[in-house]
């Protein structure tokens, strides 16, 4: 099994006090005969943190449950569940309106072609991300997002072959569909479909802007506190948790608690996603870390599946070693993701 010295060394190397100020790493196998959690820098092992887009893996668990209950199908057109004023003119490319061709599968796989409200450059060259990273805390609910992206050029036709582009807009719209199907707000959806099924006292959808219990994350050397924004984007990145409780969810996700385990195979329809926000493969509500043969030439790493969050949060599983990884570098920059990804692959390689 994994040597603790290696884990401690990798964790300490994540912190450079220049671009990464804190990290938490949790590593376990299925039956918890091996379980290790470490923290460095400004965080503790049980610190609550914003898991950012790791939230989307929880959305996948919800969507798969709705499919099992025959309440939705991946191939359903989004116009089935949304009013005309949302769908009309949502996706217009070169004068052709493709809005009625968008399906739930397109949204959850980032193959709709819809532009990303978060990173798309606005007139003047700035992005929503630029404003938020400067500390300009604003709410971005789905109606505001839709109003913006209707004035932006889509990336490609829905479902275009070998085309994918990471877009939080997809998940905001998917969230509205799920709310319409269930008749519940998304924080209540998370509660009913996931949180109430697991014992997670420190996991919740962030809604109270006066809640200061999660640690603030960093952008460069500055702490960022964006309660209005995070409270408004529940479905795309609004969950607060700890490394230990993300681990509980992660293991249940891959072991069939929410939907039949064999259906994981159906989610592995990979498209390469290029920056921003990083380099990885995106499937049906699931991500895969690239594992080049050169990294482990004699014992190749087959796949590492899970999800990244923009704040350096992560939740991944490697079936070769039966190891699960959760935690965060709590930093909005590529270095945090690179440090965590490198550590995960080195741990896997040490066990192969």
Binned at pLDDT 50, 70 and 90, residue 16 comes out as confident
Binned at pLDDT 50, 70 and 90, residue 276 comes out as low
Question: pLDDT for 104-120, tens place per residue?
Answer: 999 999 999 999 999 98
Question: pLDDT for 285-323, tens place per residue?
Answer: 999 999 988 988 988 999 999 999 999 999 999 999 999
User: For position 110, which CATH number holds?
Assistant: 3.40.710.10
Q: What is the DSSP string of 160-194?
A: -TT-----HHHHHHHHHHHHHHHTS-HHHHHHHHT
Binned at pLDDT 50, 70 and 90, residue 277 comes out as low
Give the C-alpha separation, 40 to 42, whole Å.
7
Structure tokens given for 12: 């300490």
Number of domains, the chain: 1
pTM of the model: 0.97
Give the C-alpha separation, 21 to 156, whole Å.
38
Tell me the residue range of the domain where 258 lies.
Answer: 4-351
Closest Cα partner for 178 from 57, 52, 63, 58? 63
Q: What's the whole-number mean pLDDT along residues 317-333?
A: 96
State which of 1-15, 227-241, 296-310 shows the largest mean pLDDT.
Answer: 227-241
Largest CA distance in the chain: 60
Predicted local confidence at residue 186, as pLDDT: 97
Binned at pLDDT 50, 70 and 90, residue 279 comes out as confident
Is the confidence at residue 42, as pLDDT, over 70?
Answer: yes
Q: What's the whole-number mean pLDDT along residues 79-93?
A: 97
Is the confidence at residue 350, as pLDDT, over 70?
Answer: yes
| % the chain with pLDDT above 90 | 91
Please, what is the Cα angle at 23 between 286 and 303, to 5 degrees? 30
CA dihedral 131, 134, 135, 138 (to 10 degrees): 0
Predicted local confidence at residue 121, as pLDDT: 86
Predicted local confidence at residue 295, as pLDDT: 87
């Amino acid at each position: 099994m994994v040597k603790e010295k290696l884990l401690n060394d990798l964790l300490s190397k994540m912190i450079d006090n220049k671009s990464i100020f804190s990290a938490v790493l949790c590593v376990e196998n299925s039956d918890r005969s091996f379980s290790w959690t470490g923290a460095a820098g400004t965080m503790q092992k049980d610190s609550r943190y914003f898991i950012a887009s790791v939230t989307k893996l929880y959305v996948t668990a919800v969507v798969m449950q709705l499919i099992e209950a025959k309440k939705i199908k991946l191939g359903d057109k989004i116009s089935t569940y949304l009013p005309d004023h949302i769908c009309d003119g949502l996706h217009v490319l070169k004068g052709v309106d493709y809005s009625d061709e968008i399906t739930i599968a397109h949204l959850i796989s980032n193959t709709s072609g819809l532009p990303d409200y978060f990173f798309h450059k606005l007139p003047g060259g700035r992005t929503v991300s630029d404003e938020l990273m400067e500390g300009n805390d604003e709410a971005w609910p789905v109606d505001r997002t839709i109003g913006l992206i209707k004035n932006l050029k889509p990336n490609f036709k829905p479902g275009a072959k070998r085309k994918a582009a990471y877009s939080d807009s997809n998940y905001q719209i998917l969230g509205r569909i799920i709310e319409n199907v269930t008749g519940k707000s998304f924080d209540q959806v998370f509660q009913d479909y996931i949180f109430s099924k697991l014992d997670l006292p420190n996991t919740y959808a962030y809604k109270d802007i006066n809640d200061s219990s999660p640690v603030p994350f960093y952008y460069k050397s500055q702490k960022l506190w964006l309660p209005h924004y995070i409270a408004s984007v529940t479905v795309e990145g609004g969950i607060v948790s700890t490394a230990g409780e993300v681990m509980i969810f992660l293991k249940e996700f891959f072991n069939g608690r929410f939907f039949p385990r064999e259906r994981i195979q159906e989610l592995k329809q990979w498209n390469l996603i290029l920056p921003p926000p990083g380099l990885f493969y995106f499937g049906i509500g699931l991500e895969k870390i690239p594992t080049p043969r050169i990294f482990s030439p004699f014992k190749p790493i087959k796949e590492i599946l899970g999800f990244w969050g923009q704040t350096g949060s992560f939740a991944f599983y490697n079936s070769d070693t039966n190891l699960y990884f959760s935690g965060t570098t709590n930093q909005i920059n590529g270095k945090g993701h690179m440090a965590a990804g490198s550590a995960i692959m080195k741990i896997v390689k040490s066990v192969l």
